[in-house]
Amino acid sequence: MNMEDYFMSNGWNISHTTKLPPRHKRLFGIDDLSISEESRRFLQNVFPDGIYQHQKIAIQHFLSGKNICMTTGAASGKSLSFYIAAIEELLKHTPSRIIAIYPLKALGREQEDRWKDALSNAGVSAEVDRIDGQVPMASRPAILRNAKVLILTPDIIHAWLLSNLSDKSVLNFLQCVSLIVVDEVHNYTGVFGSNAAFLFRRIQHLMNLLGASPKYICASATISEPSEHLRNLFGLDFTLIGPEFDTSPKHELEIQLVVPPRSADLLTEVSNLLYYLATQTSSRFIAFVDSRKQTEHISSILARSQDKEEERESEFKLDHLERLNVLPYRAGYEEHDRDIIQKRLSKGTLRGVVSTSALELGIDIPFLDIGVLIGVPHSTTSLLQRIGRIGRHSSGTIMVVNTGDVYDEAIFKNPEGFLSRPMAESALYLENIRIQYIHALCLARHGGEHDQICSSLSLDEETEFSSPVDWPDGFIDLCKRERLGEIPVDLQSMKSESGDDPNHTFPLRDVESQFKVELKQGPELRSLGSLSYGQLMREAYPGAVYYYTTQPFRVYRVYIHSKLVQVRKEKRYTTRPQALPTLVFPNLTHGNVYRSKKYSDLIVAECNLQIRETICGFKERRGPNEFTCNYPPDSAETGVYFNLPRFTRNYFTTGVVITHPALNKERVNCEALANLLYEVFLILIPFERRDINFAADKHRAKRGPLEEGSRFVAIYDQTYGSLRLSGRLLERDILQRTFEGAVELAEHRGVPEINSETITAIELLYNSLSQEGLDLSFEADVPQQISAHKYERVILPGSKGLNINRHNEEFWVEDVFFHPSIGGLCYRGRHVSTTEETVKEIIPIKALVEIPGESKTALYDYDTGEIGAATSSDIS
């Protein structure tokens, strides 16, 4: 049975087919390049007939002293220019060292052998080595002393290299760096990219102290506004070599847009398709999904099918990574497990792999001839990266599966535009105060990176902190405040959590420290990767069945404050959280609104938000049966230890709040409306879904023309502290096209959630944009300011706030009083996790922040010790 027969026999439909034609290579001579004999020897040995145009142009620009970045397609040979640049630097200056930075460890390991081959073919005697988490600490100084080309990830630079600047081998190596190679620059986006932007500047700052001034050569997939992205990422200017100069060859690819039958759930249908590919064809495939959980569930279904064939279903299998012919791949795995998967991929001993975007990057996986994209990639950049894994050595087939969500349905309705959607946006926001403070701690704290270099060079550490680097606004001031001990109260918990080791406490891939997952069952104790707080809420909440490399584990205890998740082995059950609607608390008070507009009855405002995500239990499926477990679970019956009725996460971010009288009408589904706006916004500006979310809620206090109780929808950043991505929605053209697209989707989608009342509401919102927009200010609500010497704004007893020093846990206030030993006002009360009502805690008032519209406030009179009437006054 071929694929067309499979689709026909199983109810699948191929809705559209297109072909990407092959491209024949065009080669250019090297005689006019002013390169060394060694570089010429390398090119003649490996590319005797010439090189591609973009490679030649990149070499020419680098030789002229420019920082360069190639933005040509996947598998176009960008690395060749890296090798030539390195050879030229090594020959020009004998002490020179090269740093080659790859965003994934697997990519760095693959490239290590290629670097060695390149230098060998050039006849250059220079050692190439690599340092990652698996290289023993004791071996690293020798590697630094001997390596001329050192392969690193940003993570190892942040966590190890820059936290060991007192080591002479580290200093001597950094002093000699003359070239920094950064591959896959488009991957530096969102939280990871924003953190990396500060990391690259920290490197520049430290090298400047050491007297080094390296050049940069980079490579990237094509993204929107690449020059701006590079400037934000490095604080430097680059010369671009774009896809118009790419003359490398391509094999033909056939792209099929396919619709699965709706008779079974999506994961079952997709798993059946992948099982057929793995067992009934000679093809090797890669399947891309957009969530870690989907990766594990699909792989687990395939593993269960193979285990049944081998009659091994009853036992818990520790050899599964060596035995199964389809494996998952995602971030968060332990190194040992990741290594096994990567080795089997490179050797071609797997029939398939199910991956998140972690395998979008330039790892060359041989033998792949089929790509299955489960859901439409949200940008042309991501699409090209994913299909770039296929057809590297022969023609291939790409199947794009319609998942049935709003985004996929919209794209499948217009398949001719499938390949002409926007490139990925540069999602860097360098004003995020939490991201800035992570790097201020690493660089500028007493005893930090700056001081370690100054001490080694016998420079004065106590002079005022300064830097020649082009830092984002506010960073230098934050560094100075850190050195003076004058950091804002909302950052003090980060300082306390980091201690003297912020480089390890705060990873580059998140704004918050990670939760560690630990298998603890009897004498067995084993690490099972890590996850963020947001991933914890989706995958590893109390009672969840958490999947790791296809194996199921029961989460029986979660320690929020120590960031530890304990699990035990479990059968192949599946769970999903019972999530309450996300609560959104807009802060529309003085200083918290960035932009606001009024279009007739439509009000849109970008402001600071508090977000509350809550799980009240979970649903569990065991075969055909499903049951519900509400919190708190019976620990004697379930073995799950959690004694609260809610499992909650609170965090601070920014977003766009949209309010209109039409949202208050009966039967208007605000949640569905918010979802439509979210999907259309991401079609127009393809940010990563992990960075943006949506919700519907109601205003809890009157603010200007916004009445208490009026409903709103919100598009907001999911990153703690915000990347200010959702604010793009307020651009008039984007707002107009988002509402217009939502109307079109609502009228043609035909799903129950989008009823006629909801369609009418969307149309009314859209029609409001025909009016001229007026700037809206909420400043009129701010009464005359009151002296802070006499009064202090406090949360009233009987109300609650969020303790920012305790992971934003809710705290019930029972009393407000002056504490002599603390030297200020304090609250007495209890956290929601404190089940003993007689146990009281005392916290400073600065540690407790208001929940907008929910916390009741008043003024404390320092002269009398009395609490006055509730007020919304700001204190000067």
Residue with more model confidence, 307 or 161: 161
Percent of the chain with pLDDT over 70: 96
Mean pLDDT of 8-30: 95
**E runs forming strands in 522-573:** 524-531, 545-548, 551-559, 564-569
Lowest-confidence pick of 217-226, 457-466, 609-618? 457-466
pLDDT of residue 830: 94
pLDDT of residue 450: 96
Question: Residues with Cβ < 8 Å from 416, sequence gap 6 or more?
Answer: none
Confidence tier at 317 by pLDDT (50, 70, 90): low
Instruction: Enumerate the H helices of 211-291 as residue ranges.
Output: 226-234, 266-280
pLDDT of residue 366: 78
Confidence tier at 360 by pLDDT (50, 70, 90): confident
**DSSP secondary structure, 336-392, as one string:** HHHHHHHHHHHHT--SEEEE-GGGSSS---TT--EEEEES--SSHHHHHHHHTTSSS
Instruction: Enumerate the H helices of 184-265 as residue ranges.
Output: 190-210, 226-234
CA 701 to chain centre: 33
| Dihedral sign of CA atoms 849, 851, 854, 857 in order | positive
pLDDT of residue 601: 96
Closest by alpha carbon to 519, among 552, 473, 479, 482?
552
610: helix, strand or coil: strand
**What percent of the chain is helix, strand and coil (3-state, nearest 5)?**
35, 25, 40
Instruction: Enumerate the H helices of 543-665 as residue ranges.
Output: 635-638
Whether 408 and 257 have beta carbons less than 8 Å apart is answered as no
614 phi and psi angles, rounded to 5 deg: -135, 135
Calpha distance 33→61 (Å, rounded): 11
Whether 557 and 641 have beta carbons less than 8 Å apart is answered as yes
Whether 826 and 845 have beta carbons less than 8 Å apart is answered as yes
pLDDT tens digits for range 193-212: 999 999 999 999 999 999 99
Closest by alpha carbon to 304, among 619, 555, 574, 540?
574
Highest-confidence range of 211-225, 320-334, 605-619, 752-766, by mean pLDDT? 605-619
Given a cut of 60, whether residue 600 has pLDDT beyond it is yes
From the number of C-beta atoms within 10 Å of its C-beta (0-12, 13-18, 19+), residue 857 rates as middle
User: What's the CA angle centered on 57, arms 52 and 60, to 5 degrees?
Assistant: 130
CA 246 to chain centre: 30
Whether 181 and 150 have beta carbons less than 8 Å apart is answered as no
Calpha distance 723→426 (Å, rounded): 11
How large is the greatest C-alpha to C-alpha distance in the chain, in angstroms? 90
Percent of the chain with pLDDT over 90: 76
Closest by alpha carbon to 52, among 244, 247, 220, 251?
247
Calpha distance 862→876 (Å, rounded): 15
State the CB neighbour count (10 A cutoff) for residue 8.
13
Residue whose pair of structure tokens reads 């972690």 in the numeric block: 358
Calpha distance 395→250 (Å, rounded): 9
670: helix, strand or coil: helix
Mean pLDDT of 558-570: 95
For 33, 293, 535, the CA distances from 555, given in Å and listed in that order, are 61, 15, 13
Calpha distance 812→837 (Å, rounded): 11
Whether 756 and 846 have beta carbons less than 8 Å apart is answered as no
Given a cut of 50, whether residue 875 has pLDDT beyond it is no
- Cα dihedral 216, 219, 221, 227 in deg (nearest 10): 20
Confidence tier at 728 by pLDDT (50, 70, 90): very high
Beta strand 149-152 pairing with 97-101: parallel
pLDDT of residue 224: 87
- Between the two ends of the chain, the Cα-to-Cα distance in Å is 76
DSSP for residue 615: E
Confidence tier at 315 by pLDDT (50, 70, 90): low
pLDDT tens digits for range 493-533: 899 989 999 999 999 988 888 999 999 888 889 999 999 99
Whether 181 and 85 have beta carbons less than 8 Å apart is answered as yes
pLDDT tens digits for range 641-651: 999 999 999 99
Amino acid at position 801, single letter: G
**DSSP secondary structure, 577-591, as one string:** EEEPPPEEEEE-STT
Amino acid at position 869, single letter: A
pLDDT tens digits for range 429-467: 999 999 999 999 999 999 999 999 999 998 876 778 899
pLDDT of residue 39: 97
How does the average pLDDT of the chain come out, rounded? 92
842: helix, strand or coil: strand
Confidence tier at 280 by pLDDT (50, 70, 90): very high
* Token reading at 748: 């043609």
From the number of C-beta atoms within 10 Å of its C-beta (0-12, 13-18, 19+), residue 838 rates as exposed
pLDDT tens digits for range 116-142: 999 999 999 999 999 998 899 999 999
Calpha distance 858→875 (Å, rounded): 11
pLDDT tens digits for range 104-119: 887 898 899 999 999 9
Amino acid at position 585, single letter: F
pLDDT tens digits for range 365-416: 878 899 999 999 989 989 988 998 887 788 999 999 999 988 898 899 989 8
Strands of the sheet containing 867-870, edge to edge, are 791-795, 857-861, 867-870
Amino acid at position 844, single letter: P
Whether 584 and 714 have beta carbons less than 8 Å apart is answered as yes
Q: Please tell me the pTM assigned to this model.
A: 0.89
Whether 608 and 850 have beta carbons less than 8 Å apart is answered as no
Whether 539 and 531 have beta carbons less than 8 Å apart is answered as yes
Whether 554 and 301 have beta carbons less than 8 Å apart is answered as no
For 339, 589, 712, 776, 853, the CA distances from 707, given in Å and listed in that order, are 57, 14, 11, 15, 12
Instruction: Report CA Rg, the chain.
Output: 28
* Token reading at 780: 């009129």
* Token reading at 373: 């994209």
Whether 673 and 762 have beta carbons less than 8 Å apart is answered as yes
pLDDT tens digits for range 577-590: 999 999 999 999 88
Mean pLDDT of 46-65: 96
Whether 152 and 100 have beta carbons less than 8 Å apart is answered as yes
| Dihedral sign of CA atoms 218, 224, 228, 232 in order | negative
Calpha distance 828→842 (Å, rounded): 5
* Token reading at 195: 């953190």
* Token reading at 318: 């520790």
Residue with more model confidence, 876 or 716: 716
| Dihedral sign of CA atoms 111, 116, 121, 126 in order | positive
Give a three-class secondary structure readout of 725-737: CHHHHHCHHHHHH
pLDDT of residue 638: 94
